Amino acid sequence: MSASRQQTHDLDRGSSILSARLKENGRALLAPAVRLAIALRLTPNTVTVIGLLITIVAALLVANGWLLAGAALLTAGSLLDAVDGALARAQGSGTAFGGFLDSTLDRSGEAILYIGIGAWLLATQPDPTWPMIALMIALAGSFLVSYSHARAQGMGLTADVGLAPRTERLVLVIAGIALAGFGFAPGLIGVIAILAALTVATVIQRIWHVWRLSQAAAPDLKEN
């Protein structure tokens, strides 16, 4: 491995709010759910669609003020979101379309959830202007985080770094909704503001990371 390739490999290691070990432990807990899905003869794409439907119902609950129920359902939906990938690996049935469907429905679910939160803000807050602006920034930032990852892959690079990839964002949103469900509405509003800041920071991190990767790979291109 050349020095520039080693540098590229090292640059690919990034940090996020949740540690890699914590995520790995979480995946290990999915084994029973994967076995159940296999027993029920569910395909990864079916699990992906079910996860979106659960998110839609959760967003409706949140929009109508059933925050704790929405948070609980979102937790179940987030587990399903992790199951589809684990199921595909266990069955050896991962396909290009499956990856495309999973990514597309993930973005759809996130947008639908934010719409539900926005409806709740408009219905309950005396002055929802700034929370709604923060929510729009968080939603736009979330989409840009995902886009930057996909665009880097299209260039043959990786952009998995950053403080707030999707799992971290979902954990924060569920926590904020639960806080509001327990009567602490500023908790959810604060989480929205944090998400707005973190997603913007993550996009900047990924732009910087891809630039460094492209610079590290440049000597190899010249050598070839």
Question: Who's near 29: CB < 8 A, 6+ residues apart?
Answer: none
Length of the chain: 224
Strand segments (E) across 75-217 = none
CA terminus-to-terminus distance, the chain: 14
Structure tokens at 36: 């159940």
Q: What does the CA dihedral 131, 59, 174, 66 come to, rounded to 10 degrees? A: 90
- 160 catalytically annotated: no
* Catalytic position from the list 106, 127, 160, 220: 106
Structure tokens at 34: 């994967």
Phi then psi for residue 15, to 5 deg, are -120, 155
Q: Using CA atoms, how far apart are residues 28 and 186, in angstroms rounded to an integer? A: 34
| Positions marked active-site | 106
